[in-house]
Structure 1
Amino acid sequence: MTVRVGVLGATGAVGQRLIQLLEPHDDFEIAALTASDDSAGKSYREAAKWRVDSPIPESVAETTVTATDPDEVPDDVDLLFSSLPSSVGEAVEPAFCEAGYVVSSNSSNARMAEDVPLVIPEVNADHLDLLDVQRDERGWNGALVKNPNCSTITFVPTLAALEAAGYDLRRIHVATLQAVSGAGYDGVTSMEIIDNAVPYIGGEEDKLETESRKLLGDFDGAELSLNDFEVAASCNRIPTLDGHLENVFVEGADDISPSGAKQAMRDYPSLDLPSSPDPLIHVFDQPERPQPRLDRNLGDGMAVAAGGFRESTFGLQYNCLAHNTIRGAAGASVLNGELLLSEGYL
């Protein structure tokens, strides 16, 4: 079964990554591209300043971009991938859901809404059933599912692996070293970031601290309760292009040994979905790995890498890394689309 899909916000950085990942996908056929009113009516080649590290796919280059409006998207499109700015997505995504479209969104709006599933398929695929609650409460024929923030996606699978191995997590501290691509092409100027590090990313700490507890919370079929561990985050922008590196400190109810943590992450399973890498977590024994330039493309950019495991006075310490625009954004939305298809929501 080939599903006809569309991309909302197709000309932006994440929209371009979505095009790159969707064009060769066996299950998805790109049938609609939307952008701002300034781009509507132009060919995708004209509208998009293509900056992805592969040529613009010829199969979509001459597709006419439409306005981001439910009336402009064909009725036979089954799934929409959204990379809209959150301020736009907040108003537009519900309108598409009301019109009957299923939306897999990377936008930050509504991630913490009680009836919106926030999903990393390998971590909490069962939370997708929250869509039944959402449809009942909102009267939608469509549906809205979110993937989390790129920095949250990086460390939550490692925490899920520790919990799956039976460790009772109490407190987590995480310091992020985030690539400039996470701010978008025009987000950080060269004069700001070259020979520098910026120890502040607006709103980012709150996303790590809240989204992680929702992702690892419990869904009882009617409502979702947040995980009761505590998370404190510090977020920093550094001059790497892609790949968010994070320093994680974990305190459990009992001691977590480095060897036990490594085994838990090696044992943590992938999923039988096209974009889910095997292994999901690539564990390094070398203390100096992972590194963004060397390891961000593991598993075609969809794997999480972990290394530098050691005991500290706080508890377990390790580092983890993921490609922020693939696993952390566009690839996460595509993976959620694959889960929606496999679970019969399309």
Structure 2
Amino acid sequence: MSVNVGILGGTGAVGQRFIQLLDGHSDFELVAITASDDSAGKSYREAAKWRVDSPIPDWVGDIEVRETDPQAVPDDVDLLFSSLPSGVAEVVEPRFTEAGYVVSSNSSNSRMADDVPLVIPEVNGEHLDLLEVQQDERGWDGALVKNPNCSTITMVPTLAALDRFGLETVHVSTLQAVSGAGYDGVTSMEIIDNVIPHIGGEELKMETESRKLLGSFDGTEIDHHDVNVSASCNRVPTLDGHLENVWAETRKDIDTDDARGAFADAPTLDLPSAPDPLIEVFENPDRPQPRLDRTLGGGMQIAVGGLQNTPSGLQYNCLAHNTIRGAAGASLLNGELLVREGWV
């Protein structure tokens, strides 16, 4: 059975990834796209400055862009994907959930709210049960689910795999692609021949979102994991693909063979966008690399390499495509999970 879906904020970089991933999707049919008032009433082809590495699907180009308002979205839309700027989403998303829509959002607002599930389906899909608390407390007929920050998504599936050894402390240094800042986020004069050793708010997102994702749901609230995460986030002149250097300290002894086994055991899901395996491990010490490995599993896999023992645990590198696995693809996968679990 096909599920009618819409995109809130569909003309931007992440909105365009949504459209690319929804083209030919087995379960979802895109029937509505919203954007700013300046774009409303135009065809999508007129409203969007297309920058994704594939042509606009012909059938999408002719869709009329709607206002980002619940009354402008057709009643037969079952699920909405949100790529709105967080300041806009903070105001707009509750209006849609109050109107009865289920929203799977990539926007950063409300990720750490006590009653909002922050979900990576292979890691903590059971946190969707928090939606019952959300609906009771807020009186919503709809529901709001978030996926985490693109840098967090890259790392947390690997940490979840290693948690069998008792995660205690994690240090991570990121090398993040310019697409993570959006098309206008970093100018060429800033980033060419340069590295920017600061991304505002990014370290805090990694440090707090990781603990929520790795936590447990007791039926009422999320008990955050007690792992201590510290992050240093850097912008580098790569177009797509966040590469991260991770040092994980564990209570139990762990060697590289143990880690490979844990990564191989990472769960996969029977969902259209879920990769198999979730984590691809490279033996070559110079992999993964963004240009070579960011599109593994259609951009949905996590790549790992450079495994080394340290005196207190393990060091490794991990990589994911930041606008697919780290953004639109993550929300899409959450949407597929919402359907499977009966929330849509």
Question: When the two structures are superposed, what TM-score results if normalisation uses the length of structure 1?
Answer: 0.99
Q: Quick check: 1:208 aligned with 2:206?
A: yes
Determine the structure 1 residue equivalent to 2:138. 138
Counterpart-to-counterpart distance in 2, 1:326 and 1:310: 28
Determine the structure 2 residue equivalent to 1:52. 52
Secondary structure, aligned partner of 1:59 = helix
Determine the structure 2 residue equivalent to 1:176. 174
Q: Quick check: 1:120 aligned with 2:109?
A: no
Determine the structure 1 residue equivalent to 2:110. 110
CA contact (8 A) 1:178 1:244 kept: yes
Deviation at residue 221 of structure 1 after TM alignment: 1.2
Deviation sequence 1:266-299 (CA, Å, 0-9, x none)? 1212101010000000001111110000100000
Determine the structure 1 residue equivalent to 2:159. 159
CA contact (8 A) 2:107 2:146 kept: yes
Counterpart-to-counterpart distance in 2, 1:264 and 1:185: 37
Determine the structure 2 residue equivalent to 1:298. 296
Counterpart-to-counterpart distance in 2, 1:245 and 1:44: 33
CA contact (8 A) 2:250 2:312 kept: no
Deviation at residue 314 of structure 1 after TM alignment: 4.5
Deviation at residue 315 of structure 1 after TM alignment: 2.5
Structure 1 residues 78, 151: CA separation in 2 closer, same or farther (over 3 Å shift)? same
Deviation sequence 1:75-122 (CA, Å, 0-9, x none)? 110100000000000000000000000000000000000000000000
Counterpart-to-counterpart distance in 2, 1:153 and 1:127: 16
Counterpart-to-counterpart distance in 1, 2:173 and 2:128: 29
Task: Write out aligned runs for 1:1-346 (5 A).
Answer: 1-163=1-163, 166-346=164-344
Secondary structure, aligned partner of 2:11 = coil
Q: List alignment gaps of at least 5 residues for structure 2.
A: none
Deviation at residue 254 of structure 1 after TM alignment: 2.2
Counterpart-to-counterpart distance in 1, 2:300 and 2:115: 27
Deviation sequence 1:118-149 (CA, Å, 0-9, x none)? 00000000001101110111111100000000
Secondary structure, aligned partner of 2:5 = strand
The ranges of structure 1 where at least 4 consecutive aligned residues each deviate by more than 4 angstroms after the TM superposition are none
Deviation at residue 26 of structure 1 after TM alignment: 1.2
Counterpart-to-counterpart distance in 2, 1:25 and 1:79: 14
Structure 2 residue identity aligned to 1:262: R
CA contact (8 A) 2:35 2:65 kept: yes
Deviation sequence 1:142-195 (CA, Å, 0-9, x none)? 0000000000000000011112xx210100000000000000011111110010
Structure 2 residue identity aligned to 1:280: L
Q: List alignment gaps of at least 5 residues for structure 1.
A: none
CA contact (8 A) 1:249 1:314 kept: no
CA contact (8 A) 2:22 2:28 kept: yes
Structure 1 residue identity aligned to 2:288: P
CA contact (8 A) 1:158 1:265 kept: yes
Counterpart-to-counterpart distance in 2, 1:260 and 1:315: 11
Secondary structure, aligned partner of 1:19 = helix
CA contact (8 A) 2:167 2:249 kept: yes
Percent same amino acid among aligned pairs? 73
Counterpart-to-counterpart distance in 2, 1:269 and 1:212: 18
Deviation sequence 1:197-233 (CA, Å, 0-9, x none)? 0000000000000000000001011111100010000
Counterpart-to-counterpart distance in 1, 2:234 and 2:284: 24
Deviation sequence 1:16-67 (CA, Å, 0-9, x none)? 0001111210111111100001101100000000010111011111111011
Counterpart-to-counterpart distance in 2, 1:287 and 1:60: 42
CA contact (8 A) 1:209 1:233 kept: yes
Counterpart-to-counterpart distance in 1, 2:227 and 2:181: 29
Secondary structure, aligned partner of 1:251 = strand
Q: Provide the aligned C-alpha RMSD in A.
A: 0.7
